[in-house]
Structures are given as structure tokens and as C-alpha cells.
Amino acid sequence: MRTGYKVCDLMTLRPVSVDPSTPVDECSRIMAKNHVGSLLIRKGTRLLGLFTEKDIVRKVVASNRDPRKVSAKEVMKYRYPTITPEKDIYDAIVLMRDKNVRQLPVVDKKKIVGFLTGKDILKIQPQLFELLVDKIELREEDRKLKELNI
């Protein structure tokens, strides 16, 4: 199924990013200031990884680590799916669904050129967003059944 929209049509052109040595407390301030839930971690134009709110909660706060002494590179995700700017938005949605992610760094010839989120897609193609919602609902149902030992 093709939408006629390419990733480059919807992506954020100047995603918020930080150096890998940035302390987690500074990352959280940058995220709050820019109203974003994730940061690209990069060296120059090269993508190194992705740092999210979940990383702060699960890898720093829950582990009782000092966010002033932990750098982004210590808790970021190094292996993260990416997409190229010429791909159709449908391809991005399928990738997000299959990899269970809410955002995709957009890379062209190993250079970061943008960032695509579920919100970006929702703005232009709300009916396609249902593909992601279905997976979330199924995952939530599985989790509840496991809690009940069913």
C-alpha cells in the first residue's frame, strides 16, 4: 500500500541531538526545553544512537544512578532502526510497527537528514496510524493475560 507521501515530506528537518558525552541530567533538560521525548546521539553528521525518556527511567532512575554522572552514551540505544528519506510513509509505519518503535532517525548515505515520529505521521495520515495502534493493543492484551496467568 503506497500513500504518495515520502518520509522526507513529513520528517523533522532539524532534530534535537546531543553529543554522546552529554550527561543524562543535561539531556533531560534539553528534552524538556524542546518538548521532545527523544534525542539523536551523534558525532558530527553520523548517527551513533537514540536516547529516550525510557532510557532515563529504566536505565538511570530505576537503577538509582546519578544522572549527573551518567552520560548519554552509557544508556542510549546503539542499534536502532533507521529509514531513508525517499521511502513511502507506509514503509515507515510498517517498520515502526514491526520493530516496536515510535520514532525513526532518517539517514541518507550514513548522514542524519531528519527524524520521523508517530506524531508526524498522525498529522497527515491518521488512518494509517491504526496499523501502529493495533500492535500496541495486541501487546497490551498479551501483557494483561500474562499477569493473570492465562
Q: For the domain bounded by 7-147, which CATH number is listed?
A: 3.10.580.10
d(CA 63, CA 79): 22
What does the pLDDT read at residue 147?
Answer: 61
What does the pLDDT read at residue 93?
Answer: 87
Crossing angle of helices 130-147/89-99, nearest 10°? 10
What does the pLDDT read at residue 144?
Answer: 56
- pTM summary value: 0.78
Domain boundary assignment for the chain: 7-147
The per-residue pLDDT for range 19-75, each reduced to its tens digit, is 999 999 999 999 999 999 999 999 988 899 999 999 999 999 999 999 999 999 999
What does the pLDDT read at residue 53?
Answer: 94
The per-residue pLDDT for range 65-106, each reduced to its tens digit, is 999 999 999 999 998 999 999 999 989 988 998 898 889 999
What does the pLDDT read at residue 130?
Answer: 63
130 against 52, higher pLDDT: 52
